[in-house]
Amino acid sequence: MSTHRDTITEDIKIICKFPGCEKEFRQQWIMKDHMATHDNIYKLYCNFPGCDKKYNTRSNLEVHMRKHAGVKPFECELCQKKFISKWNMSKHQKISKCSKKASEIPLKKADKKEVKLVKRIKTNNVIVEEEI
């Protein structure tokens, strides 16, 4: 029986066909989300006062909202530095003094503060916000 990991290989490359963009992706759904940025299709907006950031995926908005809330739920076990995303922590572990032992350390997730997410929908020139 094959596992999910067996179905995703490093060899698969889906290249963005948008003029001037040559980003590569390993999964079609990631490419679909990426294409929405070229089409300026953003469904999710940051509701923090004075912030006009917008996103096309909930996970990207959640990571962004952690910046405003000061939440850093991912901690490097070697140096105890905290990060807003697993990706940021992984990047730190690859390029810092922690890189040598990072593969031996289990991921630790700290407590999260609750962050309110809002989806703004524009209908008939009226913006309606609904909690998501």
Report the C-alpha gap between 59 and 51 in whole angstroms: 17
CA dist 93 and 22 (Å) reads 27
pTM above 0.85, yes or no: no
The pLDDT of residue 78 is: 85
Tokens 């939440």 sit on residue: 71
Does pLDDT of 10 surpass 80? no
What share of the chain in percent tops pLDDT 90? 18
Q: Kindly state the average pLDDT of the residues 81-107.
A: 78
Over residues 15-27, mean pLDDT: 87
At residue 104, φ and ψ (nearest 5 deg) are -90, -5
Mean pLDDT across the chain = 76
